């Protein structure tokens, strides 16, 4: 339980922490959730709204519910978030591997022992090490994307359970 002195100190500190004050700071903080789009709502993008509506209608009709069923819309929005998370993950991995693996075949051939034709390099190439370190650098971002995807999966499962209760 907080004491009166702690409550007063917290209130005093809260008065000083009001967020960004300059127009540039406000604009930068406004764009924080738009880095990858996973935190933005489906309603913000007109193309996603149309896709979500179509998916929600098909889910509702498949389960014999009215067209504007809340659970069906939740399922559709969660499904679109899951697909977005997977696309962001694929783009990140693709962008990091594309430039680093172009010369891999040539490098691998240089490291084969005489007469070996199995195509397995004996030593790791510099490019392989670069790729591994690039993937290690991506791990924090990939884990955040994974968290968004898991949250959307749980939201979809919860909506499905309420849409189709077990009898």
Per-residue pLDDT tens for 45-95? 677 788 888 888 888 888 888 877 889 989 998 998 899 889 988 888 888
Q: How far apart are the first and last CA of the chain?
A: 45
The answer to the question of residue 85 being in a domain is yes
The answer to the question of residue 6 being in a domain is no
The answer to the question of residue 77 being in a domain is yes
Predicted TM-score of the model (pTM): 0.58
Residues 6 or more apart whose Cβ sits within 8 Å of residue 141? 92
C-alpha to C-alpha distance for 159 and 5, rounded to whole angstroms:
45
pLDDT digits (tens, 9 = 90+) for 5-37: 999 999 888 888 778 888 888 887 777 665 556
The answer to the question of residue 26 being in a domain is no
The answer to the question of residue 3 being in a domain is no
The answer to the question of residue 29 being in a domain is no
Q: How many separate domains does the chain show? A: 1
The answer to the question of residue 15 being in a domain is no
Residue 139: give the domain boundaries. 37-104+113-163
The answer to the question of residue 73 being in a domain is yes
Yes or no: say if 60 and 66 are a contact pair by the CB < 8 Å rule: yes
């Amino acid at each position: 339980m907080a004491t009166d002195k702690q409550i007063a100190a917290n209130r005093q500190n809260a008065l000083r922490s009001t967020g960004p004050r300059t127009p540039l700071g406000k604009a930068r903080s406004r764009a924080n959730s738009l880095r990858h789009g996973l935190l933005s709502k489906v309603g913000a993008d007109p193309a996603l709204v149309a896709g979500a509506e179509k998916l929600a209608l098909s889910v509702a009709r498949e389960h014999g519910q009215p067209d504007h069923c809340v659970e069906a819309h939740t399922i559709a929005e969660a499904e679109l978030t899951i697909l977005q998370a997977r696309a962001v993950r694929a783009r990140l991995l693709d962008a990091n591997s594309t430039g680093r693996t172009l010369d891999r075949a040539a490098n691998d051939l240089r490291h084969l022992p005489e007469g070996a034709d199995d195509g397995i390099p004996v030593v790791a190439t510099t490019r392989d090490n670069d790729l591994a370190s690039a993937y290690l650098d991506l791990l924090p971002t990939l884990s955040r994307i994974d968290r968004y995807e898991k949250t959307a999966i749980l939201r979809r499962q919860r909506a499905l359970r309420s849409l189709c209760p077990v009898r």
